[in-house]
């Protein structure tokens, strides 16, 4: 029996970062592997070449879209395993009618983002960012400025999560030891599932009003763009922390800047709109916002995603269920 042909399209310069030795051994164990030999992810013409005889492919950031011409050039393609966050940019309208199966290793990335989010929650509640600056400028606990940022704890805090996504659910798990009250706003989550997760389902207005920390974990689309803005930012508690590790467009940053200028909130923004922030963005100069360059997920060591992508393809060709499969009906509720 012929072994399936799997095309690796991500470019050889990314192999060490994305694949462990175990992943390569596993892939070689069930498939014939063909490579896009360039150092960087396959561009459109290169993708057409490497997929010509492939039964499946492994993609990641930077690979060209599987558009109509690419799909026509890959008549035998039956499965695609993606290593990254969103799959939406990589597939086209012709993808689903072909019956190609799609899996995502983004569930591994979600764990990294959730860990970063928890760290930001702790740092935010403890006021590490402004207090460290306060001390570096000569202050201490007996300074009159001490009361400007009263340090708080995670235990007993009210945490509001906008979106019960893969990341959101990992955050919920990580919050268990802290005995927090967890509020979730998500139109796709029902009361029964909320009970199972141990969270309270509320609308976003109530979440914004009640939470000590608001953290965003939902996709950006026509319904969620600027869902955080002048209409609900003023309702946040004094001293509350806003965290965005999802998509920059979820927040109306002009409105956020106006609210931050009052000094009563603090924000951690790992994503902005645009990226990077405009050179003259007030977010770059405000003392109560910390900007990071979209690094909440793994950057240098993403081998767990490579292992997951390979395992999903092994399962596909063995007739087993995938670790995490993406179907067409999921696209309106994932990033």
DSSP string covering 183-195: EEE-TT--HHHHH
Q: What percentage of residues in the chain have a pLDDT greater than 70?
A: 99
According to the model, what pLDDT value does residue 141 have? 84
Known catalytic residue: 82?
A: no
221-241: pLDDT as tens digits: 999 999 999 999 999 999 999
Give the C-alpha separation, 286 to 75, whole Å: 54
According to the model, what pLDDT value does residue 267 have? 97
DSSP per residue, 275-312: SSPPTT-GGGT-TTEEE--S-SS-SS--HHHHHHHHHH
310-323: pLDDT as tens digits: 999 999 999 999 99
According to the model, what pLDDT value does residue 268 have? 98
Give the residue-averaged pLDDT of 287-311.
92
* Catalytic one of 275, 284, 320, 328: 275
Give the C-alpha separation, 222 to 332, whole Å: 10
Helix (H, G, I), strand (E, B) or coil at 135: helix
According to the model, what pLDDT value does residue 134 have? 83
Give the residue-averaged pLDDT of 250-270.
97
- Stronger pLDDT, 334 or 17, i.e. the higher one: 17
Q: Is the pLDDT assigned to residue 270 strictly greater than 90?
A: yes
According to the model, what pLDDT value does residue 80 have? 98
Known catalytic residue: 222?
A: no
Give the C-alpha separation, 22 to 93, whole Å: 34
Weakest-pLDDT range from 116-125, 178-187, 198-207, 293-302: 293-302
Asked if residues 248 and 275 have their Cβ atoms less than 8 Å apart, the reply is yes
Q: Is the pLDDT assigned to residue 49 strictly greater than 90?
A: yes
According to the model, what pLDDT value does residue 135 have? 87
According to the model, what pLDDT value does residue 280 have? 93
Strand 158-162 versus strand 181-185 pairing type: parallel
**Torsion, CA 309, CA 327, CA 172, CA 109, rounded to 10:** 30
101, β-bridge pairs: 79
126-170: pLDDT as tens digits: 999 888 888 898 888 877 766 667 789 999 999 999 999 999 999
Radius of gyration of the chain (CA): 22
Known catalytic residue: 134?
A: no
75-125: pLDDT as tens digits: 999 999 999 888 999 999 899 999 999 999 988 889 999 999 999 999 999
**What is the side-by-side order of every strand in the sheet holding 325-326?**
32-35, 5-8, 56-60, 79-83, 101-104, 325-326
Asked if residues 274 and 245 have their Cβ atoms less than 8 Å apart, the reply is no
Q: Is the pLDDT assigned to residue 332 strictly greater than 80?
A: no
- Read off the pLDDT band of 1 (50, 70, 90): low
According to the model, what pLDDT value does residue 158 have? 98
Give the residue-averaged pLDDT of 296-300.
84
* Catalytic one of 17, 225, 294, 333: 294
According to the model, what pLDDT value does residue 150 have? 78
Average pLDDT, the chain: 94
Residue 209: CB atoms within 10 Å: 15
* Catalytic one of 82, 101, 111, 247: 247
According to the model, what pLDDT value does residue 145 have? 67
């Amino acid at each position: 029996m012929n072994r399936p042909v799997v095309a690796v399209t991500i470019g050889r310069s990314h192999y060490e970062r994305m694949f462990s030795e175990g992943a390569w051994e596993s892939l070689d164990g069930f498939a014939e592997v063909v490579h896009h030999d360039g150092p960087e992810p396959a561009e459109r013409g290169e993708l057409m070449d490497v997929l010509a005889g492939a039964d499946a492919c492994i993609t990641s950031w930077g690979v060209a879209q599987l558009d109509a011409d690419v799909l026509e050039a890959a008549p035998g393609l039956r499965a695609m395993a993606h290593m990254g966050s969103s799959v939406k940019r990589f597939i086209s309208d012709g993808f689903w009618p072909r019956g190609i199966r799609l899996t995502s290793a983004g569930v591994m990335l979600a764990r990294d983002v959730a860990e970063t989010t928890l760290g930001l929650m702790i740092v935010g509640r403890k006021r590490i960012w402004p207090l460290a600056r306060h001390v570096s400028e000569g202050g201490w606990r007996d300074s009159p400025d001490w009361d400007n940022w009263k340090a708080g704890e995670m235990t007993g805090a009210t945490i509001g999560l906008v979106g019960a996504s893969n990341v959101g659910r990992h955050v919920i798990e990580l919050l268990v030891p802290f005995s927090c009250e967890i509020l979730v706003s998500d139109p796709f989550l029902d009361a029964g599932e909320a009970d199972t997760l141990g969270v309270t389902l509320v609308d976003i207005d109530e979440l914004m009003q009640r939470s000590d920390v608001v953290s965003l974990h939902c996709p950006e689309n026509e319904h969620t763009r600027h869902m955080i803005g002048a209409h609900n930012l003023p309702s946040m508690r004094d001293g509350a922390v806003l965290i965005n590790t999802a998509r920059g467009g979820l927040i109306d940053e002009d409105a956020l800047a106006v609210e931050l200028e009052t000094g009563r909130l603090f924000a951690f923004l790992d994503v902005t709109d645009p990226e990077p922030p405009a050179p003259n963005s007030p977010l770059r100069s405000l003392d109560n916002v910390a900007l990071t360059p979209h690094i909440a997920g793994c950057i240098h060591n993403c081998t767990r995603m490579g292992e997951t992508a390979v395992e999903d393809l092994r399962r596909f060709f063995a007739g087993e269920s995938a670790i995490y499969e993406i179907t067409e009906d999921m696209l309106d509720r994932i990033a």
